[in-house]
Amino acid sequence: MTKSALQIARAAYKPKLPKALKGGAVKAEMGQPTESVADQEMIKKLFPNTYGMPLIRFTEGQQGEHPAINVGVILSGGQAPGGHNVISGLFDGIKTLNKNSRLFGFILGPGGLVEHQYMELTSEIIDEYRNTGGFDIIGSGRTKLEKEEQFEKGLEILKELNISALVIIGGDDSNTNACVLAEYYAAKNAGVQVIGCPKTIDGDLKNEMIETSFGFDTACKVYSEVIGNIQRDCNSARKYWHFIKLMGRSASHIALECALQTQPNVCLVSEEIEAKKMSLDDVVTYIAQIVANRAAAGHNFGTVLIPEGVIEFIPAIRDLIAELNELLAKNKDFAMIKKSAQREWIISKLSEVNARIYESLPEGVAKQLTLDRDPHGNVQVSQIETEKLLSDMVGKKLAGWKEEGKYVGKFATQHHFFGYEGRCAAPSNYDADYCYSLGFTASMLIAEGKTGYMSSVRNTTAPADEWIAGGVPITMMMNMERRNGEMKPVIQKALVKLDGAPFKAFAAQRDRWAIETDYVYPGPIQYFGPTEVCDRPTKTLQLENAK
């Protein structure tokens, strides 16, 4: 593998570990039994073998004898910076327990387990990927593990390779699959442990025991750098409004964090829009008024940050999408209908209220709402050009105000969508350290014979010596949700809390940011230099952990 100068320098970086993990000998302290966040009776019934397990906290322990074990690892779902360090930490952890332990990677995600595609990850391979971005060491995939025949096919290769533990690195849906798999193998006494690791740049896989999902820190720093660059250009040319859509399907964590880092003129927060029951016109009017206010002050330029999934949080649009999801789930041959007739067919099948809303949408947006669903039966919001929809509607609103003499400025726009750019970046020092610790913690959970747990590393705004490593039962995070027309157990997504410290800090400043040009230019991620520059966590985490 040809390496850049940065990769060569980064290869020598030694990720920091919590004090309890440094010697590789830990003691597992068991907490109280747990229960799911909602739907307790139903979740308990679905997961009788992995429900109610205690929280685990690792402390320093005495070195003991550990038999050599074979472990499998899967990268599941979308990429996130730091995945290679999770695998490195897992590898080093099992080797610390016994130098004869082996690690096998399944190729291209969960599908590799089912299709028996794998490779052994040796020290030579691992060393090539330490502290690098991407998931290219073994690739990732989105195959859902939910059918008994898949579990059995997976078990065949696990038995063939003498693998007694499987680590699934993924987001909420991937870890839901890990929980289902753990339950199945436990019920069969198959002798295979399943451990999850919390990954998603969206930041919506978190709770009191998982304080952040890995990759969020790096992705937000990448996006904030580019937003800062755009704002500097914006403040130089002084003639464009930049509408910037940011990845984050079900929550606004990325947009909120980037706003805290860059201080844009407008940042929409989907959860607030839902709470206030704002209509699409309300959102458009809110943005247009800020544009008009800045124009009155002589500023015909600015930046607007838009969460990727905002359109689903506008109550009327959300209800429309929910009905569309059900309609398309029941009519699998929709794609066979002549394209010119699809719009009218949908209008004829929707309820009166939703038919009216659908008919009122621009044809392009309406069409995007009917594109193929994702594997979970949901509309693919990344394909909806919300940034263009909103800028177009703001432009029309301003044109109407101009005719009425309420607006005297100029409104020219540029559009951006930042998503893939942040998913495979070289991990920040924070993510490099956090991910390595998550992988190492997973190896300790395996050594303790645990299954159905997610690796947990907390207190990460403190020095690494003070980080708290342990495990949390995945069932503790679960609730029931409708997927593809059926109620399914899934990990509950963590949305932006409007009474939380990050949103409150943003809300206290946004009116000033709206009228003033007080942009912050964060610059690129720094890997070498002062701790306060190189090791700083996200503003979200700092605010949430502030005592």
462-474: pLDDT as tens digits: 999 999 999 999 9
At residue 516, φ and ψ (nearest 5 deg) are -90, 160
* Given the residues 92, 172, 173, 202, the one annotated as active site: 202
Per the document, the length of the chain is: 547
Q: Residue 256 in 3-state DSSP?
A: helix
CB atoms within 10 A of CB 68: 13
| Residues contacting residue 42 through CB under 8 Å, at least 6 positions apart | 480, 489
Q: Please, are residues 304 and 243 in contact by the beta-carbon 8 Å criterion?
A: yes
**Nearest-10 Cα torsion for 50, 494, 56, 487:** 0
User: How many angstroms separate the first and last alpha carbons of the chain?
Assistant: 45
Residue 199 burial (C-beta neighbours within 10 Å; 0-12, 13-18, 19+): buried
Q: Which helix (H) or strand (E) holds 406?
A: none
Amino acid at 445: L
Work out the average pLDDT over 174-185. 96
Give the model's pLDDT for residue 382: 67
Work out the average pLDDT over 393-410. 94
Closest by CA position to 246, among listed 266, 274, 276, 273 = 266
pLDDT digits (tens, 9 = 90+) for 496-544: 999 999 999 999 999 999 999 999 999 999 999 999 999 999 999 999 9
| Residues contacting residue 348 through CB under 8 Å, at least 6 positions apart | 355
What is the SS3 string spanning 41-74? HHHHHHCCCCCCCEEEEEEECCCCCCCCCEEEEE
Q: 472: which strand partners?
A: 454
202 is catalytic: yes
pLDDT digits (tens, 9 = 90+) for 343-368: 899 999 999 999 998 888 878 788 88
Three-point CA angle 23, 26, 32, nearest 5°:
155
Helix ranges (DSSP H) in 369-422:
386-403
- Judged against a pLDDT cut of 80, whether residue 547 lies above it is answered with no
Give the model's pLDDT for residue 391: 94
Please report the sign of the dihedral spanned by the C-alpha atoms of residue 189, residue 452, residue 484, residue 481: positive
pLDDT digits (tens, 9 = 90+) for 181-222: 999 999 999 999 999 999 999 999 999 999 999 999 999 999
- Judged against a pLDDT cut of 70, whether residue 340 lies above it is answered with yes
Cα separation of 294 and 301, whole Å?
8
Give the model's pLDDT for residue 2: 83
Cα separation of 277 and 267, whole Å?
17
> Domains in the chain, start-ordered, CATH in brackets?
20-215+427-483 (3.40.50.450), 217-423+500-545 (3.40.50.460)
Work out the average pLDDT over 156-177. 97
Q: Say which residue, 325 or 271, is predicted with more confidence.
A: 271
Q: Which long-range contacts (CB under 8 A, 24 or more apart) does 272-276 make?
A: 272/496, 272/498, 272/503, 273/310, 273/313, 273/314, 274/313, 274/314, 274/315, 274/318, 275/498
Give the model's pLDDT for residue 360: 82
pLDDT digits (tens, 9 = 90+) for 4-53: 899 899 999 999 999 999 988 899 999 999 999 999 999 999 999 999 99
| Residues contacting residue 305 through CB under 8 Å, at least 6 positions apart | 227, 244, 246, 255, 258, 259, 264, 266, 267, 268
- Judged against a pLDDT cut of 90, whether residue 275 lies above it is answered with yes
* Cα distances (angstroms) measured from residue 512 to each of 356, 475, 490: 38, 43, 40
Q: Band of the pLDDT at 378, cuts 50, 70, 90?
A: low
Tokens of 89: 């930490």
Q: Residue 89 in 3-state DSSP?
A: helix
Give the model's pLDDT for residue 249: 79
